[in-house]
């Protein structure tokens, strides 16, 4: 098996790609919104109906973190349809992370490349499923950046190495701030572990040279993060989940479960596999702990402890960025795997690890695949609404169910609301130029497309923006706010029981008096109302 290890890894990557390649839509929470806003951004750049957009949107003139996915998807949109542009980004992420993770492990020890077979639980995470594209992409870039550093850490006096490493850090920071801080922390800790003798006795000249070099490498990325933090602030929203519950969630690898509760079985198997190898290290220390990689090992142990404590103590949001816990929960085991890469393993343990990792990945796929295909079918039905919406329209898109309820009190997704922003795809089509009032990104000032002053729907119809269900409010308040009529109202995943809510009942009555129903899909996954 070990002779075919490389080809087995390629096969596992191809297998992982199938879940994205086969359906037309691999649906993620924020993915459609990123795709829509990428289209608006590039329409502005190339002056495609800029005058229409300009009444509602303005472009963020600062290059902030969280732009990477928009630029990539926007570029893809110039040559392929919206659904394929999103898919190409997903494929790019899968390849970048899987091979970046492998590259990082190879940089530590080529003998331990087998550890890269457990990439699946760190690839299709809850963070990715919720559409945190920039954060997910940055984790892949983190692996490539740290791997490059490990291979070239003794050549940091070479200008080409300095430029390359600084550029990799800056690209990672441009994608997301958290992973670039982790990789800079690891680089500094590796340097510190290898150069602590400069402090005893203090060699000021050499120490200042080393620190100046690191500062220059880090400066562009640190400056970007610093400006971002000034812009967003550090306000925190306390987490509603207790530390004890977070710990229990951690033990079940919950951040690697993105679709069904049944995914707990392969997720827990990941934890058991890692703990088993940790016990091997503890009880056979003399045999396995002989790699000359001790300094790297200490760094990964520190990162494991740091990210674990950060996960347990993190708030719900920092500076407006939410779901901090699901971004952190899978990092401690990832650093544990990198720690394992600093050790020496027998041929038998390598074979066992590859076999179990392959089985875990296949189990994830078998559980997840049928529901991804069901989501794809529902997505196709929702997108039929595009045939009934004219170009250059203002659309109020209301979502009545994020989790996609199924008959028998089941839901398509158990761990996340992947249909949260799906109708944003309506505005991402090549022949559509739409203002979608449920565009949550436009109210976040670090994304590329922002609301013009006085155009943010949350100012008058906050009950329509994603949050508590069902959506409720008086749409005419927004029309008065912007002095512009709403052309269409779109219901995604209409639920008849929503009429039990007096506010929704009043809303529907008002819609029926001012709009005409022009389309209702077979399963009522989408309903389109056009102004009379």
* Residue-range domain boundaries for the chain: 73-369
The candidate with the shortest Cα–Cα distance to 257, out of 243, 276, 274, 270, is 270
* Enclosing H/E stretch for 528: strand 526-531
Distance (Å, rounded) from C-alpha 332 to C-alpha 315? 17
At 101, is the pLDDT very low, low, confident or very high (cuts 50, 70, 90)? very high
Q: Would you say residue 188 has pLDDT above 80?
A: yes
At 349, is the pLDDT very low, low, confident or very high (cuts 50, 70, 90)? very high
Distance (Å, rounded) from C-alpha 174 to C-alpha 153? 23
Q: How many residues does the chain have?
A: 532
At 318, is the pLDDT very low, low, confident or very high (cuts 50, 70, 90)? confident
In this structure, of 75-84, 133-142, 459-468, the range with the lowest mean pLDDT score is 459-468
pLDDT, residue 322, reads 72
pLDDT, residue 320, reads 63
Strand 321-322 with 434-436, pairing: unpaired
pLDDT in tens, 505-530: 999 999 999 999 999 999 999 999 99
pTM: 0.94
pLDDT, residue 282, reads 83
* 202 dihedral zone (left: phi>0; alpha: psi -120 to 50; beta): beta
Average pLDDT over residues 291-316: 87
pLDDT, residue 423, reads 95
Question: Per-residue DSSP letters for 363-396?
Answer: HHHHHHHHHHHHHHHHHHHHHGGGGGS-SSEEEE
Q: Would you say residue 405 has pLDDT above 90?
A: no
Residue 461's CB is within 10 A of a number of other CB atoms, namely 21
pLDDT, residue 87, reads 98
Q: Would you say residue 319 has pLDDT above 70?
A: no
Peptide bond into 470 cis (omega under 30): yes
Q: Would you say residue 168 has pLDDT above 60?
A: yes
Residue 181's CB is within 10 A of a number of other CB atoms, namely 17
- Please, what's the b/e burial string for 115-146 (b: 16 or more CB within 10 A of its CB; e: otherwise)? bbbbbbbbbbbbbbbbbbbbbbbbbbbbbbbb
Strand 236-237 with 317-318, pairing: antiparallel
Average pLDDT over residues 478-485: 95
In the chain, % of residues over pLDDT 90: 74
Q: Would you say residue 291 has pLDDT above 60?
A: no
At 287, is the pLDDT very low, low, confident or very high (cuts 50, 70, 90)? low
Strand partners, 321: 318
pLDDT, residue 208, reads 82
Average pLDDT over residues 227-236: 77
State the average pLDDT for the chain.
91
pLDDT in tens, 361-371: 999 999 999 99
Peptide bond into 386 cis (omega under 30): no
């Amino acid at each position: 098996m070990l002779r075919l290890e490389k080809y087995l890894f390629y096969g596992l990557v191809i297998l992982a790609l199938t879940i994205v390649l086969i359906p037309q839509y691999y649906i993620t929470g924020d993915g459609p919104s990123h795709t829509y806003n990428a289209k608006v951004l590039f329409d502005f750049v190339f002056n495609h109906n800029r005058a229409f957009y300009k009444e509602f949107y303005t472009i963020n003139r600062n290059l902030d973190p969280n732009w990477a996915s928009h630029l990539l998807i926007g570029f893809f949109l110039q040559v392929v349809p919206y659904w394929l542009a999103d898919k190409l980004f997903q494929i790019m992420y899968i390849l970048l992370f899987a091979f970046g993770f492998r590259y990082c492990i190879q940089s530590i020890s080529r003998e331990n490349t087998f550890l890269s077979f457990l990439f699946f639980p760190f690839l299709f995470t809850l963070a990715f499923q919720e559409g945190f594209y920039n954060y997910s992409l940055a984790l892949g870039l983190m692996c490539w950046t740290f791997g490059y550093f490990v291979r070239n850490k003794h050549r940091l006096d070479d200008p080409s190495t300095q430029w390359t490493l600084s550029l990799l850090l800056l690209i990672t920071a441009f994608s997301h701030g958290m992973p670039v801080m982790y990789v800079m922390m690891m680089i500094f800790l590796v340097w510190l572990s290898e150069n602590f003798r400069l402090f005893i006795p203090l060699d000021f000249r050499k120490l200042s040279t080393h620190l100046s070099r690191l500062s220059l490498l880090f400066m562009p990325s640190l400056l970007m993060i610093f400006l971002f933090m000034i812009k967003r602030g550090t306000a925190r929203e306390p987490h509603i989940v207790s530390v004890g519950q977070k710990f229990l969630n951690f033990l079940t690898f919950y951040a690697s479960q993105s679709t069904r509760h049944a995914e707990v079985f392969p997720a827990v198997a990941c934890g058991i596999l890692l703990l088993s190898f940790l016990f091997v290290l503890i009880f056979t220390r003399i045999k396995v702990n002989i790699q000359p990689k001790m300094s790297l090992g200490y760094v990964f142990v520190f990162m494991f402890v740091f990210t674990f404590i950060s996960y347990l103590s993190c708030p719900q949001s920092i500076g407006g960025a939410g779901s901090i816990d699901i971004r952190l929960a899978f990092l401690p085991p990832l650093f544990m795997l990198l720690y394992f890469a600093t050790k020496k393993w027998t041929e038998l343990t390598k074979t066992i690890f590859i076999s179990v990792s392959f089985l875990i990945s296949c189990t994830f796929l078998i559980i997840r695949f049928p529901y991804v295909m069901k989501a794809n079918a529902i997505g196709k039905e929702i997108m039929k609404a595009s045939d009934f919406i004219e170009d250059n329209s203002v659309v109020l898109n209301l979502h009545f169910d994020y989790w996609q309820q199924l008959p028998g009190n089941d839901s398509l997704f158990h761990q996340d609301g992947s249909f949260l922003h799906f109708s944003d795809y309506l505005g991402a089509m090549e022949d559509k130029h739409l203002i979608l009032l449920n565009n949550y990104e436009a109210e976040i000032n670090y994304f590329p497309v922002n609301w013009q002053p006085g155009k943010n729907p949350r100012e008058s119809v906050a009950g329509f923006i994603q949050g508590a269900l069902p959506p409720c409010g008086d749409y005419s308040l927004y029309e008065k706010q912007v002095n512009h009529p709403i052309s269409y109202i779109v219901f995604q995943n209409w639920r008849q029981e929503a009429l039990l809510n007096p506010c929704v009942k009043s809303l529907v009555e008002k819609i029926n008096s001012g709009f005409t129903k022009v389309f209702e899909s077979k399963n009522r996954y989408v309903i389109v109302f056009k102004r009379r």
